[in-house]
A = this chain, B = another copy of it.
């Protein structure tokens, strides 16, 4: 039996924690036979390296940034191998170039194209524990890419899929998936089992436990995901099709505060404008989230949308470069704003949910900047300083309303 584990940055932040994780891996090896562990960079390593880059250049090349950042995961993998050797285990660290994780070329947010299994299987057959540097790939030129935020999860799930692993355990600093972020909402409860679909909504909307790409991939290849803490023996949350439960009215609340809002004021009210705006952003690989078009004055419209904070300056630059093609009056932006989302598969058939959300926000005097809804989700943009108050108010409202509430 093969199992794949993934340990996040806080789980390997220092020598003591690395030794602690090594003992877990050793135990898993004794119980399961073959273990592949994917490692993130230690603690703040990635942020520290980024800071170094920005000390040198205000706009560092994305290729070179990936070359720099990928070293963090390689260090963790090597250190973990040493810790396992000290426990008498055979272990070997491999970076993406060594075992063959081939990706697209868009540095900073590359996508996995293909994973070779030959080297990993050879090491497993030899009886070694395989320690994989997460977060990274190599493109067709042999250059190092990184797979974007949360990508070590994706590496782990993809490996579990290609290796036919029994399960993929994601070790993190929380002990499972909660109905809301417990740091924001003290009354939040752990969800023991959740379906891919609901987890996908939660994670794509800012619940930072799992990255949505890893959940998509797990869904596609039916990989049984387990989210657990590396610090405790708590059971964690199982994400799996087999874990599908009755459709609940509301399964969780997610807050994403890594959001910037851009407003393009005074664009012409004519066909093709939205296409021009969002195609030039897409060319630059900038992901756009909530989009809202409203009617401005004198036959012009205003178009607002959100991007990740990291992409804000690049997005504005790109728009300015294309001003002739698009044409507008002016551009406004908010550096950081919070997106609060309420998710629940049962929402579609219950029209009362939206009004309950708005009521809960009104109860605590939170102003809403933008609203966007889908069949199983309501998202609102609110000020960052309102996020905690808003999440608690909504959580409380549904805890009392919703007897089927998860947990």
Question: Which residue of chain B is the closest to A69 with respect to CB atoms?
Answer: B78
A85 interface neighbour in B57, B74, B83, B93, Cβ under 8 Å = B57
- Distance of A142 Cα from B72 Cα, bound (Å): 19
Q: Cβ of A52 < 8 Å from any Cβ of B?
A: yes
- Distance of A72 Cα from B49 Cα, bound (Å): 11
- Whether the pair A79, B98 counts as a contact (CB closer than 8 A) is no
- Distance of A394 Cα from B297 Cα, bound (Å): 90
- Whether the pair A75, B71 counts as a contact (CB closer than 8 A) is yes
Q: Cβ of A97 < 8 Å from any Cβ of B?
A: yes
- By a beta-carbon cutoff of 8 Å, the part of chain A in contact with chain B is 15, 18-19, 49, 52-53, 55-58, 60-61, 63-65, 67-68, 71-72, 74-75, 77-79, 81-83, 85-86, 92-93, 95, 97-98, 142-144
- Whether the pair A64, B52 counts as a contact (CB closer than 8 A) is no
- Whether the pair B56, A98 counts as a contact (CB closer than 8 A) is no
Query: How many Å from the CB of A15 to the closest CB on chain B?
Result: 4
- For chain A, what secondary structure do more than half of its interface residues adopt (helix, strand, loop), or is it mixed? helix
A98 interface neighbour in B49, B71, B98, B143, Cβ under 8 Å = B143
- Distance of A82 Cα from B98 Cα, bound (Å): 25
- Distance of A57 Cα from B78 Cα, bound (Å): 12
- Whether the pair B49, A61 counts as a contact (CB closer than 8 A) is no
A67 interface neighbour in B18, B93, B143, Cβ under 8 Å = B93
- Whether the pair A65, B53 counts as a contact (CB closer than 8 A) is no
> Which chain B residues border A18 with CB–CB below 8 Å?
56
Query: How many Å from the CB of A5 to the closest CB on chain B?
Result: 18
- Distance of A223 Cα from B308 Cα, bound (Å): 51
